[in-house]
Amino acid sequence: MKAADVARLTQEAFDQERAKTLATCTQCHGAGFAKEQLKLSDGLIRDADHLMAEAIRIVAGLYQDGTLAKPASYAAAFPDLLTFHDAPTPIEQQLFVMFLEHRMRTFQGAFHASPDYVTWYGWSELQRDVADIRAKAEELRRARRIDAALEAAAKPKR
């Protein structure tokens, strides 16, 4: 991350980048307006991150209860967003798309002051992702219960 310069890892680095952004915005807009828009965008990204956290917790729960088996390549029984497109399960593929596509579109739309883009290509997709991940998790758990019941019924009775 540090080499790619995609994250501000210190408050000082964040503040420097924020000052550059404000300097750009205030070439056309008033400083008060620009600061308020950035504040609103920060809040939207916080909300998007809460949705991401919920989805990550749902998938983590599938590992914790044994519904998903830990892949050999994973350091822990926990979803790994850094596997990117190599995520081993469909539900984790969706989590990957949620993070790298829909959250990013939310970010881009918010900080480029594009309410249409942020709504239809970012936020709405994040909401749909969480709903789908919730439903898929329940389907996986239901299938696991059915498989366990069928295995138990197939065992010879003594």
Region 43-154: CATH code: 1.20.850.10
Long-range CB pairs of 142-146, under 8 A, 24+ apart, other chains included: 144/66, 144/67
Start-to-end C-alpha separation, the chain: 59
Question: pLDDT tens digits for 40-85?
Answer: 999 999 999 999 999 999 999 999 999 999 999 899 999 998 888 8
Closest to 118 (Cα-Cα) out of 128, 96, 97, 103? 103
For the chain, helix, strand, coil in percent to 5 are 75, 0, 25
Question: pLDDT tens digits for 71-126?
Answer: 998 999 999 988 888 899 999 999 999 999 999 999 999 998 899 999 999 999 99
